[in-house]
Amino acid sequence: MALVVEGPLGLWGQWATGLLVWIKNVMAAILTASIVKNSLRPIRLDKMFMNDMGLKAVTTTNDGGTILKQLEVEHSAPTWLCELAKL
């Protein structure tokens, strides 16, 4: 059940609570983990990252910390994991 409140949150903002928020947080964590999980196995797989501008900055790595540093996360749940990797 979601509660939608308009007011001090700002323009086009919505408050959501309950099971819907929990499901979205779990799905965001699962998607973030699926990106990093191949770098945690004994046989590591490399991942290639490009910046927004194209092929000018390409990073190839199998380190989970570097992968999390390169991610641009918009959801609030896995953001803390990416911020911890930047420390």
Q: In the chain, where are the structural domains located?
A: 19-85
Using 50, 70 and 90 to split pLDDT, how confident is the model at 18?
A: confident
Identity of the amino acid at 68: L
Cα angle 10-14-17, degrees, rounded to a multiple of 5: 135
User: Rounded CA gap, 68 and 49, in Å?
Assistant: 11
Question: Is the pTM here over 0.75, yes or no?
Answer: no
Residue 49 burial (CB < 10 Å; 0-12/13-18/19+)?
middle
pLDDT in tens, 32-51: 888 888 777 777 778 887 77
CB 36 within 8 A of CB 68: yes
Q: What integer pLDDT is reported at residue 55 of this predicted model?
A: 63
63 alpha-carbon distance from chain centroid: 16
Q: Which amino acid is at 13?
A: G
Q: What is the mean pLDDT of residues 24-28?
A: 86
